[in-house]
Amino acid sequence: MSIAVSPLEVFRAKGVPHRRMEDWKYSDLRSAIDEKSVEHISGACIRTDAPAPIESLGAGDVMPEWLANRIESLGRVGSMEAAARAFAGGVLALRVPAGEQVDLPLHIDYMSAGHSHIVLSVEARASLTLLETYRARGGGLQNTSLSIFLEEGARLTHIRQASFASELIAVETVSVVQAKDSRYRVHLMEGGAKLSRVEFNIALKGEGAEADLSGISVLGDHAHADITTHIDHAVPNTISRQLFKKVAGDYSRAIYQGKITVREGAVGSDSRQTAKALLLSARAEADLKPELEILADDVKCAHGAAIGDLDADSLFYLRSRGIADDEAHTLLINAFLQEVVDHIEDDAVRSSAVEFVEAGLARAMIVAP
């Protein structure tokens, strides 16, 4: 029996993460903010649009047993996740009852910077789309802990759309625990921030569970966008898919770190991981670090990472057909991202991804003199 350690104690023991920690190697949070400042920041203002029959539990309510149990079951938490829980001023808990197919999206709109602690439980065979959007454009810290529980056969499509916020420090930890035959799909649209890091901890704990993570990062200016993923194939016959494409212009920095663990005995695990970055300027930087830890036999794991710039042959080919230089650039960048956009199943979400790319490229393609 372990003695429960409070989030506050965890945060105070671990402190703000820094670049000498492997997971934060490319995002030195400590150089951007110190412990005292993290503690002084209060809860974020969140507007939640939760269509029926989603049950929601606000900050002032007594935490029911199901929620307490689940939060405890997550086990070890990172320091920023702990900070979010300690300083959010309460938890926003949402539950989709068993068997419910919710057609309208659950929209979580972060109206301001600050800490947030959110728990979402999608119960057996229920399905839901979760949309996260962010409005804070000034300075400060946006720090979110989002814990998701998918019960047997549950389905969740998660869309996270974060436009560029030049002064903001944005940190989010998404923990997903998946039971048998559950399906989690996430589409990220990242515009970056002064420092932005989103971390996914996916635990595939039931056979037949499937996680599919994809995202586009379109960065310009001094944008920094770090996507870090940990996928844990804990039991036999689980599937994970990852597809990330990043376009980095001007002085921006695109980061992907992805660790896949296939535990002992997790036979039949099937994992695929692709991360590619396109650099549009000599000052932009991309760091891609795929990592595999395989402790079981009879598994399928494929991974690939590549960083490049626009192909000169392709550019000349398009220009020789009358397509002007900047239009040819736009065409090729869109072509590079197309695979990820096509991966989005919902038409409306796909359209918003196209708009997101268009808006992002307008910034990413600006070339400083």
Partner 1 sequence: MLEIQNLHVSVGGKEILKGLTLHVNAGEVHAIMGPNGSGKSTLSYALAGRPGYEITEGRVYYKDEDLTTLAPEERSAKGVFLALQYPVEIPGVTTMNFLKTALNAQRRARGESEFDAVSILRLVRGKATALNVPEEMLKRALNVGFSGGEKKRLEILQMALFEPSLAILDETDSGLDIDALKLVAEGVNTLRAPNRAMLVITHYQRLLTYIVPDRVHVLAGGRIVAEGGKELAHELEAKGYAGIIKDAA
Provide, rounded to whole angstroms, the least separation between the CB of residue 12 and partner 1. Answer: 49
Region from 107-115, 169-177, 285-293, 315-323 binding partner 1, contact rule CB under 8 A = 315-323
325 binds partner 1 (CB under 8 A): yes
Neighbours of 67 (CB within 10 A): 19
> What is the distance between the alpha carbons of residues 366 and 219, in angstroms, rounded to a whole number?
11
367 binds partner 1 (CB under 8 A): no
Q: What's CA 124's distance to the chain center, in Å?
A: 24
**Complex with partner 1: residue 200 or 356, whichever CB lies closer:** 356
Looking at 52, 103, 312, 347, which residue binds partner 1 (CB under 8 A)?
Answer: 312
314 binds partner 1 (CB under 8 A): yes
In three-state secondary structure terms, 348 is helix
Provide, rounded to whole angstroms, the least separation between the CB of residue 314 and partner 1. Answer: 5
> What is the distance between the alpha carbons of residues 332 and 191, in angstroms, rounded to a whole number?
19
Give the chain's radius of gyration (CA, Å). 20
Q: What's CA 325's distance to the chain center, in Å?
A: 34
Return the structure tokens found at 365: 């393609």
Looking at 1, 322, 347, 369, which residue binds partner 1 (CB under 8 A)?
Answer: 322
282 binds partner 1 (CB under 8 A): no
Helix and strand totals (H; E) in the chain? 7, 18
317 binds partner 1 (CB under 8 A): yes
Looking at 69, 282, 320, 369, which residue binds partner 1 (CB under 8 A)?
Answer: 320
335 binds partner 1 (CB under 8 A): yes
Cβ–Cβ < 8 Å for 14, 79: yes
Looking at 74, 267, 310, 318, which residue binds partner 1 (CB under 8 A)?
Answer: 318
Provide, rounded to whole angstroms, the least separation between the CB of residue 324 and partner 1. Answer: 5
351 binds partner 1 (CB under 8 A): no
Looking at 28, 338, 346, 359, which residue binds partner 1 (CB under 8 A)?
Answer: 338
166 binds partner 1 (CB under 8 A): no
At CB < 8 A and 24+ separation, what contacts does 321-326 make?
Answer: 326/365
Size of the site for partner 1 (CB under 8 A): 24
Looking at 339, 346, 354, 359, which residue binds partner 1 (CB under 8 A)?
Answer: 339
> What is the distance between the alpha carbons of residues 103 and 107, in angstroms, rounded to a whole number?
12
b/e string for 283-315 if b means 16 or more Cβ within 10 A?
ebbbbbebeeebebeebebeeebebeebeeeeb
316 binds partner 1 (CB under 8 A): yes
Which residues lie near partner 1 (CB under 8 A)?
Answer: 311-314, 316-325, 327-328, 331-332, 334-339
